[in-house]
Structure 1
Amino acid sequence: MDSALISVGLPIALAVIMFGLGLSLTPGDFRRVAQSPRAVAIALVCQLVILPLVAFGLVKLFDLPPLLAVGFVILAASPGGTTANLYSHLFRGDVALNITLTAINSVIAIVTLPLLTGWAIAHFVDESTQIGLQFDKLLQVFAIVLIPVLAGMLVRHRSAAFADRMDRPVRTASAILLIAVVVGAMFSERDNITTYLVQVGVVAAIFCLISLTVGYLIPRRLGLTEDQAVACGFEIGIHNSTLAIAMAITVIGNAEMSVPSAVYGVLMFPIAAVFGIAVRNRAVLSSSDRSKSASQRGR
């Protein structure tokens, strides 16, 4: 936990990721809420209400140790990020909605993330254990989140062409740094990593799959379009695991709490890819069935 990779690399990784997010944002992304209030409201209820309840249920069901349980709640409370936008683009989701949701969620998380984390610590951790939020560290983390986002937005405002050129390099750097942070977090707990993987791996995979499914099916059942549901699925199913790791290590000062986010950060990529393929195939089959039905009626 005291390694340079964690103490220095984690803030840098988070700043680069959030700068990349800022490069894709404009003030219009926040104003777009007024254009799609229903889609945004449905997605936020899934993110802020349903997912913490799902995480709580899973950690209770699998009887996880207290610190790992808190780590899962932190993960569930973390917003989506640029990776969700990328997956939405690859699988034909409404990327504009993704960007709006990421922007709104990142701002709301300033309040909801510490609140849910504090509740989880109070619920799961024994009072005799000296663990709690360090509010000066919390302010530092949110400064690392907000300042790069604003800087990225300023860059886009000054030169949209430059922001577009920087998009791919910054995304690549974000992916590399995310991997480095995940490896560093797991290395800091290397003595217990096998035990943690056994305890957390299945739960992290189930949580990822449930998050993606909830994010897609509930909006679809409530009348959102296919591309909007795909966007919501990835936004709700792919969390900013770097922010969750920073919350555990920097703000709370406990590396064990970062393990669920680190494991999730590895598993979410293949699970989200398989989910995206399944959703697109389902959409293609549904479209084909509708075309056949229309053709038969025409006869």
Structure 2
Amino acid sequence: MNTVWIVLPVLLVLMFQLGIELDRNAFAALFRRPAAIVAGLLGQLVALPLIAFGVGLLFRLPPVWFMGLMLIACCPGGSSSNVFSMLARGDVALSVTLTALSSLITLFTIPLVMGLVSRFVSVHAETPVDLPAGKLLLQNFVLLFLPMLGGALFGRLRPAAARRVHALLGRVSFPALLLLAALFFMQYARVIVENFAVLGLAAGVLILLAVGAGSLVSRGFRLGRAARRTIVIEVGMQNAAQAIAIAASPLVFNDGEMAVPAIVYALLMNVILLVYLKLLPKSSVGELPDRG
């Protein structure tokens, strides 16, 4: 069974759910708080891929896993990051804006970055890795942009119905992700278990460095506490469903093993960020988000 036929509807649902959250206020932060937006995008789209490249080299990952680690680093988190921002008493409006913007920008940056990575890997691999950039761009357009646009239009035209649908999707999306992770784990259990020491360590180091980078960037821009927490979460949380869809898609790489780093990252990401939430000062509970 090709897991991609399960991940595709999950990804569509997640992006539609994100689209429902978008309104004029979601993009108003572009003009009200440009520093926070720039800091978040720098962390997500620049710092994280560079860190992943360094981690891949440090651990001397085989080409297929090197590609997989870079792929998960290029796929920004979806609606889950908004939920974590809320739990962290962060800036949820900023989280929604960053998630939406990064999802749109990566329609184009993922083909660009992964094209460069595939050429780098091909120099060191026995079999060259080919990236059909046009097909990847088309797949991202269909699986990311169109459902986001559909969700946004639905939210605008039928706000009451959209709120009900969003609440329903909020209840089923996380169990759907867990089901996807379980099915993928069962399919590649042997590979994951036998190589978890290397992959787990590489993914764990990447997550910790991503969290650290988010904190440093936000502090460098002198943002408030709520905005800093949000950017830490946005940089650390990645969209495993999107990474699996690209890796396993017959249109793109058609390589399920390339998606293994994504599922390992997703498992560790939730654990590490839950610990992060647990370590936040208790005094912040119930505080309103600051304006950074």
TM-score for the superposition, normalised by structure 2: 0.89
**Does residue 1:57 correspond to 2:54, yes or no?**
yes
Are the structure 2 counterparts of residues 282 and 255 from structure 1 closer, same or farther at C-alpha, using a change threshold of 3 Å?
A: farther
The corresponding residue for 2:95 is 98
**Does residue 1:233 correspond to 2:232, yes or no?**
yes
SS in 1 for 2:180: helix
The corresponding residue for 1:202 is 201
Residue by residue, what CA displacement relative to the aligned partner does 1:204-256 show, whole Å, maximum 9, x if unpaired? Answer: 12211221222123202421010111111111110111111111111211112
The answer to whether the 8 A contact 1:94-1:228 is kept is yes
Residue by residue, what CA displacement relative to the aligned partner does 1:61-109 show, whole Å, maximum 9, x if unpaired? Answer: 1111111111111111111211100000011100000011011101100
User: Size of the alignment, in residue pairs?
Assistant: 281
Q: Distance in 1 between matches of 2:130 and 2:188?
A: 20
Q: Among residues 40, 54, 61, which one is paired with 1:43 in the alignment? A: 40
| Unpaired runs of at least 5, structure 2 | 286-292
Residue by residue, what CA displacement relative to the aligned partner does 1:106-151 show, whole Å, maximum 9, x if unpaired? Answer: 1100111111111111112346525322333541243111111111
Equivalent pairs: percent with the same residue? Answer: 32
SS in 1 for 2:195: helix
Q: Distance in 1 between matches of 2:281 and 2:154?
A: 34
The answer to whether the 8 A contact 2:89-2:284 is kept is no
Deviation at 1:171, TM superposition (A): 2.0
Deviation at 1:264, TM superposition (A): 1.1
Aligned pairs (5 A) from 1:24-39 = 24-39=21-36
| Unpaired runs of at least 5, structure 1 | 285-299
Q: Which letter maps to 1:219?
A: S
Deviation at 1:59, TM superposition (A): 1.3
Residue by residue, what CA displacement relative to the aligned partner does 1:146-173 show, whole Å, maximum 9, x if unpaired? Answer: 1111111112112323322233321232
The answer to whether the 8 A contact 2:39-2:218 is kept is yes
Are the structure 2 counterparts of residues 92 and 195 from structure 1 closer, same or farther at C-alpha, using a change threshold of 3 Å?
A: same
**Does residue 1:133 correspond to 2:134, yes or no?**
no
The answer to whether the 8 A contact 1:182-1:263 is kept is no
Are the structure 2 counterparts of residues 80 and 199 from structure 1 closer, same or farther at C-alpha, using a change threshold of 3 Å?
A: same
SS in 2 for 1:8: helix
The answer to whether the 8 A contact 2:18-2:78 is kept is yes
Are the structure 2 counterparts of residues 30 and 132 from structure 1 closer, same or farther at C-alpha, using a change threshold of 3 Å?
A: farther
CA radius of gyration, larger in = 1
Are the structure 2 counterparts of residues 256 and 264 from structure 1 closer, same or farther at C-alpha, using a change threshold of 3 Å?
A: same
Are the structure 2 counterparts of residues 132 and 171 from structure 1 closer, same or farther at C-alpha, using a change threshold of 3 Å?
A: farther
The corresponding residue for 2:269 is 268
Q: Distance in 1 between matches of 2:193 and 2:29?
A: 45
Q: Which letter maps to 1:121?
A: S
Residue by residue, what CA displacement relative to the aligned partner does 1:262-299 show, whole Å, maximum 9, x if unpaired? Answer: 11111211211111232345968xxxxxxxxxxxxxxx
Q: Identify the range of structure 1 (22-31 vs 226-235) with the bigger mean alpha-carbon deviation.
A: 22-31
Q: Distance in 1 between matches of 2:98 and 2:136?
A: 26
The answer to whether the 8 A contact 2:121-2:129 is kept is no
The answer to whether the 8 A contact 1:13-1:174 is kept is yes
Q: Identify the range of structure 1 (135-144 vs 70-79) with the bigger mean alpha-carbon deviation.
A: 135-144
Q: Identify the range of structure 1 (152-161 vs 120-129) with the bigger mean alpha-carbon deviation.
A: 120-129
Q: Distance in 2 between matches of 1:129 and 1:77?
A: 23
The answer to whether the 8 A contact 1:72-1:260 is kept is yes
Residue by residue, what CA displacement relative to the aligned partner does 1:30-69 show, whole Å, maximum 9, x if unpaired? Answer: 2421111111111111112211111111111111111111
Q: Identify the range of structure 1 (174-183 vs 56-65) with the bigger mean alpha-carbon deviation.
A: 174-183
Deviation at 1:197, TM superposition (A): 1.6
Are the structure 2 counterparts of residues 273 and 127 from structure 1 closer, same or farther at C-alpha, using a change threshold of 3 Å?
A: closer
SS in 2 for 1:132: coil
Are the structure 2 counterparts of residues 81 and 279 from structure 1 closer, same or farther at C-alpha, using a change threshold of 3 Å?
A: same
Q: Distance in 2 between matches of 1:20 and 1:107?
A: 15
Q: Identify the range of structure 1 (207-216 vs 35-44) with the bigger mean alpha-carbon deviation.
A: 207-216
